[in-house]
Structure 1
Amino acid sequence: MSRRTIVVLQGDQTGQELLVEALRVLQPGVIRYDLEFVPFDLSLENRRATQNAVVYEAAEALNQFGYGIKAATITPEQKGDVGSPNALLREAIKGEVILRTGRRIPSVRPYVGVYAPITVVRMAVDDAYNAKEWREGEGLDERAYRTEKLSRRTCRVVAEYAFTYAAKTGAKVFGGPKYTVSPIYEGMFKEELDAAAARHPHVRYDPQLIDATYALLLDTSGEALVIPTLNRDGDLLSDLVIKMFGSIAGAESQILSFDENMNVRVVVTEAPHGTAPALQGKNVANPMAMILAGAALLSHMPDVAAQRASRAIYEATLEAVHQGVRTADLGGHASTTEFTDEVIRRVSSKLEVWDSLR
């Protein structure tokens, strides 16, 4: 078994602190799996100092090694600044899908009556993001314009992955775009969803307009769902779905790039939340999402040992919460490092027991 290399994308504020916690869990001495870490400093300070050169260097490493874990980073608001490293990375690795799953956190009461997992399969490119925008006119006659685009390939990749993932997890593909008011633009995505449904006749398919999808989520309970979305729709919907289960820190996010045969070529995992500057240095932030990001990354590695380590991290993290080791956002008193220590203890114990039973 060859050593796997993980590209570590360092970030800002509490985001970087939580990445450090996740890397503690991924140490070979904990997970019994040999990893090499190649770091890149994607802090706002270094991105400005290098004029984003470090982002492109990191993308080259991702394309070479195939695996990355990323801390939350600051995106400056000023026009002409370095912008979003996420957008640059997605473009450079040809990321096409962002995968986020809201799941029940044991012993944590969800905000609505959801129970089964809900996965949002979001376009990572095209649509409203990076669209050209401009204004014309003055006063009350001033008008704003934006050009957006969708590609047939991206629509097909998102649709196919949604049905493949639903087949793998036993879920129903649910939702869809507002094609009734946008038959040309959003209709292209609907065409690909219907075509994917025909290719996967054993996967349940319940197409809905995006507004109905939001409303019907409040009535879901016992059925696992996979919701394929346009870029902008998925950005909004995925945050809502994760929060419905109790905390936005309770699930990981994955950016996926594919080869021509629809195999995952590059995966970058991260937490879905931001840099949380108010929590920096206080050792109180919830590291769950970053720890689970590490577990998700291991799940893409083909080695049995990596799969076992991934499962151990997922189980240990959720068991810790279930048995009362929680940070303040989940109603507990554990610090960031105390929660991570508990996960490490449980991962080590699980792998030791599992080895004895082989």
Structure 2
Amino acid sequence: MNSTIVILEGDQTGQELLEEALRVLDPAVTGVALTFKRFDLSLGNRRATKNRVVEEAAEALLAYRFGLKAATITTEGEPDLGSPNALLRERVDGTVIVRTGRRIPGVPTLANVYAPIAIVRMAVGDAYGAKEWREGEGLSQVAYRIDRITRRHCRAVAEFSFRHAERLGAKVFGGPKYTVSPIYEGMLKEELDAAAARYPHVRYEPQLIDATYALLLANPGDALVIPALNRDGDCLSDLVLQMFGSIAGAESLLLSFDESWNLRVIMAEAPHGTAPSLFRKNLANPMAMILAAAALLSYIGSRAAVVAQAITEAVFEAVCAGVRTADLKGHATTTEFTDEVIKRTHAKLTI
């Protein structure tokens, strides 16, 4: 098998950590023949090409399906450039973002969570990009906003949530505040209930979003898949990753779907930013970027899925053995941690 992965280069530590992940994906380590098609999405090149490079990268994602993206800089003072993530999402019709919190050996957790919790977030619409305006003046001034979601996007979130839970042996948990918003948020609840009927063997425990937050702190240890609207999912992702003690143990996947709800494009990245204070210091933690690469591999094919499992296990075994970067109270450099993951992955696959 020879698969092409679209490599979306980035800025500062984002690019440095991408290169570490690519070291792990080297065929000499994995035995999987991969071709990398690179696009420079650094701020300088986006300026120089007036975002044409982002358009080309999106076209490549649609052609080759698989992408691995470094963190990039978005500047508020250059609205013409915009966010490369938002532009890519729009061009490939990215509908769902998945982020999974999981236990990191030796890292204290909140509320004693230990089973994985995946947030399946609607990647478009809702409060993001909503039309906003104000009327009146002084204390009589009124602010308005028009949010928008579609049934197609609701169905994508619901369908993937149940398929993902089936794949993980997890429970679909939570949901929108449909009691307060039966028309708007109720649309997602309708699609979740319909998906539950299509997947009767998948456990389903619907909860209102406020109850979801509260019950997460008393989670008895079930593996969970939590479907959410765009802003709810954004907030839940931040909470859940911190419940596990660090954002380092999670990857972020942007997904688009075909008409049968099969995956059309999978773009993986780390959920964190470019960490300019760590740039060129060889201190940043490459865990999330390596886990993103492994998560991407898990969708490429059966042999690649075996390799993905080996890489993921190697990452957490390295941490358990005390090979950690400074953010996890260790002394390993970025490259030293990657070296350890490569050594352990190679050993697993050789055996």
Aligned to 2:240: 241
Amino acid at match of 1:339: F
Partner of 2:83: 84
Deviation at 1:140, TM superposition (A): 3.3
Q: Which residue of 1 aligns with 2:320?
A: 322
Tell me, what secondary structure is at the counterpart of 1:146?
strand
Change (3 A) 1:141 1:47: farther
Read off the aligned partner of 1:291 and give its amino acid letter. I
Aligned amino acid, residue 315 of structure 2: T
User: Residue type matched to 1:107 in 2?
Assistant: G
Aligned mates of 1:42, 1:139 — CA distance in 2: 44
- Alignment partner, residue 334 of structure 2: 336
In 2, Cα distance between the equivalents of 1:47 and 1:233?
31
Q: Secondary structure at the match of 1:106?
A: coil
Q: C-alpha distance in 2, partners of 1:157/1:269?
A: 18
1:311 partnered with 2:309:
yes
- Output aligned runs, 1:206-355, within 5 Å: 206-302=205-301, 304-353=302-351
CA distance 1:12–1:286, change in 2 (3 Å): same
1:314-339 deviation line (CA, Å, top 9, x unaligned) = 11101100111011111111111110
Rounded to whole Å, the distance in 2 between the matches of 1:219 and 1:124 is: 27
Quote the Cα distance in structure 1 between the aligned partners of 2:269 and 2:227.
20
Unaligned runs of 5+ in 2: none
Distance in 1 (CA, whole Å) between partners of 2:30 and 2:207 is 42
Give, in angstroms, the shift of residue 111 of structure 1: 2.6
Q: Deviations over 1:94-147 (max 9, x none)?
A: 111111111111232213210111111111111111222233333334333322
Q: Separation in 1 of the partners of 2:10 and 2:269?
A: 11
Pairing 1:88-107 to 2, within 5 Å after superposition: 88-107=87-106
Question: What is the rounded CA distance, in whole Å, between the counterparts of 2:130 and 2:281 in structure 1?
Answer: 38
TM-score, structure 2 as length reference: 0.97
What is the 5 A alignment of 1:46-85? 46-78=45-77, 80-85=79-84
Letter in 2 for 1:342: E
Distance in 1 (alpha carbons) for counterparts of 2:134 and 2:336? 52
Aligned mates of 1:277, 1:128 — CA distance in 2: 29
Offset at residue 261 of structure 1 (A): 1.4
When normalised by structure 1's length, the TM-score is 0.95
Q: Shift in Å at residue 79 of structure 1?
A: 6.1
Aligned CA RMSD, in angstroms, stands at 1.3
1:166 and 2:165 equivalent? yes
**Could you tell me whether the CA contact under 8 Å between 1:67 and 1:267 is conserved in 2?**
yes
Identity %: 69
Question: Where in structure 1 are there 5+ consecutive unaligned residues?
Answer: 354-358
Q: Distance in 1 between matches of 2:143 and 2:67?
A: 38
Deviation of 1:43 (Å):
1.2
Structure 2 match to 1:186: 185
Distance 1:329 1:167 in 2: 34
Q: Would you say the 8 A contact 1:116–1:221 is kept in 2?
A: no
Give the length in aligned residue pairs: 351
Measured against aligned partners, the alpha-carbon deviations of 1:290-327 in whole angstroms (never above 9, x if no partner) come to 0000001110012x321221111111101100111011
1:38 aligned partner? 37
Alpha-carbon distance in structure 2 between the residues aligned to 1:133 and 1:330: 41
